[in-house]
Structure formats: structure tokens, C-alpha cells
């Protein structure tokens, strides 16, 4: 991945300090596994743990978290719950992304051999506008019984996302980008997003560009997903399409997603689930969060440590087939983690 963070990342005595936001549900247990695996891999990272009270009616914890990420430059994060029904209390997940201007979310959906899934050999990259669109959180009841919700699309953000996508495709040798939209109905908002991506596409003649309407896209993803290479889309379509594609290859527990802005980066599980119903049962799949940890190590420049953990994950999932129940297996979360640690300890590529 192209590194786009321009502010130096915190590095004390050769170790990176990073913010860790466990969030609710399965977040805290998954973070325990990340710490454990990082310890055995010798990853030079120290965590600053920040808990955000889901019941809070104020934004004190939230502001502290944002300050921490601004200081460290990098965070690993679970999904944060926001219990308040008041429209004054923002979704903390959205607020963090907006405040840090993490304008793009990138999700590389690649099949794991050995995992029973609806589709095989998937390799799709979803690049999503991450701060505006339907997530603008500008809603009001204009008269009783009538609610208006604003979808914001700006040329500058559409352009940043398109440019990021084409640069990413170029750097990573991808051949085709598809813009997903509903410009036939939302002519101005989605129209602007689509036209902007077409404009940027002209600067990259070596990469094929086409577009597809979101509803057709969902059908095509289920029936003929191999036609897709890199996809770009606005925020809400991105959320839905990410979940569809993750579902095709093994569900919510397997993949990680990256959030980038010009200054900061946040790494988290791809589908951003809380997993409240499975919390504390030792059955959550630890792979999505561990992969987020690998993405973070790569971003920090610790390529060897990232490779070490990634290989151990691959061996555990694809060769040993130690799978949690979400993948059809019977292993506990801790069985998966233990096997990953065993592979790390046996590896001859330990840094």
C-alpha cells in the first residue's frame, strides 16, 4: 500500500507508540490477542489504550481518543458503541474518522484457501469514501413526521478518493477500476462522484475504467464476482458492498480494513462489527483484528514483523484449518491464537 501519512509517526527508543481503541463487544478480547501475538513476534510497538464509555452523554472520552491518535499518528480500533439516542451525541466511529479526515477506507478482499465459502479465488479491492455521503449526520425533523437527511458529496473528496484509487491500482499492478453509483436517480450527488472519477481516469490511460449502478453491482457480486478488480464508491454503498464481499469469502471475522487521511491512519476489522452477542464466549474469530495489526505493522515500516504474523495466520487458517465457528469450525478463539503463536515461535524468519 502506498504510504500517504505525511506527519512523522511517534517513535520512542526505536519503538512505535500507537493508540489502541478496543471498543465494545468482542473488541477487548480481540485486542488481548493482538498484544499476545505482537509480544511473541517481537513487534516493536507500545500501545496507549483508550476506552470510550458507550453510555457517555458527553464527548470527553472521544476527544481524548482523538488527541491520542493525533499524537501517535496511528491507531488500531474495534467498533465503538454509542448508546445515546440523542442526535447531539455523534456516532464515535464516524466522529473519529471525520475529525481525523480519514477520507478513504480500503478493503482488500482476498480469499483464504482452505476456508469453505460461497465464492473461491476472490481478489477485490473496495475503496470507499469514508467521511461524507450519507454519513454526514445532518438530519432534522423539518415538520412533525417529516425527517430530512442530507447526503453530502463534494468534488474535492470525490477527487481525493478517485486519485487514491488510481494511484493504488497503479502501484499495485491492478488493471481495472469500477465506479459504483446511483447517478441515474441521484443525478447531482452521485453524478458528481461519477463524473469526477471519469475525469481522474483520463489521467491513467493504462488502467481500464467503467461504472456500474449499485443495485446491479450487488447482483453481479453475488453471481459473477470475478469481473471486479478495484471498486470505488461513496460511503454507504461502501459499507454495504464491503459486507456483501466479506460474506462471499467467509464472513465478518476474517478481514481487515484500513482508513487513511493525509496525516493519520486507523486499522480495524473490515466490517466494523461490535459482535455483542458473541462477546466473552471465546468464539470470536481473531483473524480480522490480527490482520488489522499486520496492516498497522506494515504501515509503520515493520515489514518483517508483519510478514511473520501474516504467514503464521495463513498456516493456521489455510493449512492447519484451525477455524472458529463462524468459519464452520469448532476451535476456540484461543486455539487459533495459540496455533498462530506456535507458528511464530517455529518460524525461521523471526526478525
Name the site residues for ligand ADP (rule: CB under 6 A).
25-26, 252-253, 273-278, 284-285, 288, 326
* 214: Cα separation from own chain's centroid: 20
Alpha-carbon gap, residue 294 to 276, rounded angstroms: 24
Smallest separation, CB 139 to ligand ADP (Å)? 22
DSSP letter for each residue of 86-109: -TTS--HHHHHHHHTT--EEEEEE
Name 58's Cβ contacts closer than 8 Å, sequence gap at least 6.
Answer: none
Smallest separation, CB 317 to ligand ADP (Å)? 13
Alpha-carbon gap, residue 294 to 289, rounded angstroms: 9
Nearer to ligand ADP, 153 or 327 (CB): 327
Smallest separation, CB 36 to ligand ADP (Å)? 16
Smallest separation, CB 273 to ligand ADP (Å)? 3
Nearest to 233 by CA among 173, 178, 195, 170: 178
Alpha-carbon gap, residue 232 to 166, rounded angstroms: 10
Burial of 334 (0-12, 13-18, 19+ CB in 10 A): middle
Nearer to ligand ADP, 290 or 296 (CB): 290
Nearer to ligand ADP, 169 or 284 (CB): 284
Nearer to ligand ADP, 235 or 324 (CB): 324
Smallest separation, CB 249 to ligand ADP (Å)? 14
Nearer to ligand ADP, 226 or 276 (CB): 276
Nearer to ligand ADP, 175 or 281 (CB): 281
Alpha-carbon gap, residue 162 to 178, rounded angstroms: 10
* DSSP for residue 133: B
Assess contact for 86 and 67: CB atoms under 8 A.
no
Would you tell me how many other CB atoms lie within 10 Å of the CB of residue 264?
24
Nearer to ligand ADP, 33 or 166 (CB): 33
Smallest separation, CB 16 to ligand ADP (Å)? 25
Smallest separation, CB 253 to ligand ADP (Å)? 3
Burial of 2 (0-12, 13-18, 19+ CB in 10 A): exposed
Smallest separation, CB 269 to ligand ADP (Å)? 6
Nearer to ligand ADP, 130 or 274 (CB): 274
Helix and strand totals (H; E) in the chain: 10, 13
Amino acid at each position: 500500500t502506498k504510504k500517504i501519512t505525511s506527519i512523522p509517526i511517534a517513535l520512542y527508543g526505536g519503538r512505535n507508540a500507537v493508540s489502541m481503541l478496543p471498543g465494545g463487544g468482542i473488541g477487548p478480547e480481540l485486542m488481548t490477542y493482538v498484544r499476545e501475538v505482537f509480544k511473541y513476534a517481537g513487534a516493536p510497538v507500545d500501545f496507549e489504550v483508550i476506552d470510550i464509555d458507550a453510555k457517555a452523554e458527553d464527548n470527553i472520552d472521544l476527544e481524548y481518543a482523538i488527541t491520542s491518535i493525533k499524537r501517535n499518528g496511528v491507531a488500531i480500533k474495534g467498533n465503538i458503541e454509542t448508546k445515546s439516542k440523542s442526535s447531539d451525541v455523534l456516532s464515535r466511529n464516524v466522529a473519529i474518522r471525520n475529525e481525523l479526515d480519514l477520507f478513504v477506507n480500503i478493503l482488500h478482499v482476498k480469499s483464504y484457501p482452505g476456508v469453505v465459502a460461497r465464492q473461491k479465488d476472490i481478489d477485490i479491492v473496495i475503496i470507499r469514501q469514508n467521511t461524507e455521503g450519507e454519513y454526514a449526520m445532518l438530519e432534522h425533523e423539518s415538520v412533525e413526521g417529516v425527517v430530512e437527511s442530507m447526503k453530502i458529496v463534494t468534488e474535492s473528496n470525490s477527487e481525493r478518493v478517485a486519485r487514491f484509487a488510481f494511484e493504488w491500482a497503479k502501484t499495485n499492478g491492478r488493471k481495472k477500476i469500477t465506479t459504483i453509483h446511483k447517478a441515474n436517480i441521484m443525478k447531482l450527488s452521485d453524478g458528481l462522484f461519477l463524473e469526477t472519477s471519469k475525469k481522474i481516469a483520463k489521467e491513467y490511460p493504462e488502467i481500464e475504467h467503467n461504472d456500474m449502478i449499485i443495485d446491479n453491482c450487488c447482483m453481479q457480486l453475488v453471481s459473477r464476482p470475478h469481473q471486479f478488480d478495484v471498486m470505488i464508491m461513496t460511503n454507504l454503498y461502501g459499507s454495504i458492498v464491503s459486507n456483501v464481499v466479506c460474506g462471499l469469502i467467509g464472513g465478518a471475522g476474517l478481514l481487515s480494513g484500513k482508513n487513511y487521511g493525509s496525516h493519520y491512519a486507523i486499522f480495524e476489522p473490515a466490517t466494523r462489527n461490535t459482535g455483542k452477542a458473541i462477546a466473552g464466549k471465546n468464539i470470536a474469530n481473531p483473524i480480522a483484528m490480527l490482520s488489522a495489526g499486520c496492516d498497522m505493522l506494515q504501515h509503520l515500516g515493520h515489514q518483517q514483523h508483519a510478514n511473520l504474523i501474516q504467514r503464521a495466520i495463513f498456516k493456521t487458517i489455510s493449512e492447519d484449518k484451525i477455524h472458529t465457528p463462524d468459519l464452520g469450525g469448532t476451535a476456540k478463539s484461543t486455539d487459533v491464537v495459540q496455533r498462530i503463536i506456535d507458528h511464530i515461535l517455529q518460524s525461521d524468519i523471526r526478525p
